[in-house]
Copies of this chain bind each other. A is one copy, B any other.
Amino acid sequence: MLTNSEENYIKEIYSLEQKHQTDVNTNLLAEKIETKASSVTDMLKKLAKKDLLIYQKYKGAKLNTKGEKVALAVVRKHRLWETFLVEKLNFSWDEVHEIAEQLEHIQSEKLTNELDAFLNFPKVDPHGDPIPDVNGNFATIKTVCLSKLNIDDEGVFVEVKDDSDKFLKYLTKNNITIGAKIKVVDKEDFDNSIKIEIDKKQFNISENVIKNLYLKI
């Protein structure tokens, strides 16, 4: 049995491993968890002792098979609950993250699996992130970052990488919602901003926005 804190660390380590494809280092993890580096060191030692990850002093940490399984189980719960909140309880995609942070720690395999069935085994959550199935498997839909597109390219917006409510509210305000067809109208080299078209309306978005939007082309 793991504590909420342990589960949060493991989930974040998993996420950073996926993103950077390297061992996770202390400072970055501290920043993500919103804690201090010294606390991270303590926790990494503890998780290593519990045989959930490999930890080498000054070198960083890497989940082992057991740790990865835990991470996928927590991610599965997080995304199923987010889906539940949006699909069944009238939440918008910018309101669910914080609550799912709590719900992801509820311990009951039956609950998770019944919830999955109740939602008709959804493949992605409200942010387009894939939901691992009961065995930890998930389909990796091939998506392309909007920054990779050229002028006149278009695609369907299917996944957002920044889950913060601020960012999601900005997207909603500008009609950039999952499923929207986006076309690149113009690109500005000096600041990497681009002009896009959605539903025949055109507007500019900055590099910071672009890098968090993923499309199916």
Binding site for B on A (CB under 8 A): 85, 88-91, 95, 98-99, 102-103, 105-108, 110-111, 114-115, 118
Contact = CB atoms under 8 A, between A and B. Distances in A.
- The quantity of this chain's copies bound in the complex is 2
Given A85-B111, A102-B105, A102-B106, 8 more contacts: A88-B118, A89-B111, A89-B114, A89-B118, A91-B110, A98-B108, A103-B103, A103-B106
Contacts of A110: 91, 95
B102 A107 contact: yes
A13 B99 CA distance: 27
A129 to B, nearest CB: 20
9 contacts: A89-B111, A89-B114, A89-B115, A89-B118, A90-B114, A95-B110, A99-B111, A102-B108, A103-B103
A85 to B, nearest CB: 7
A106 B89 CA distance: 15
Contacts of A118: 88-89
Nearest to A95: B110
Nearest to A108: B99
Q: A90, A95, A103, A108: which has the most chain B beta carbons within 10 Å? A: A108
Nearest to A85: B111
A88 B103 CA distance: 17
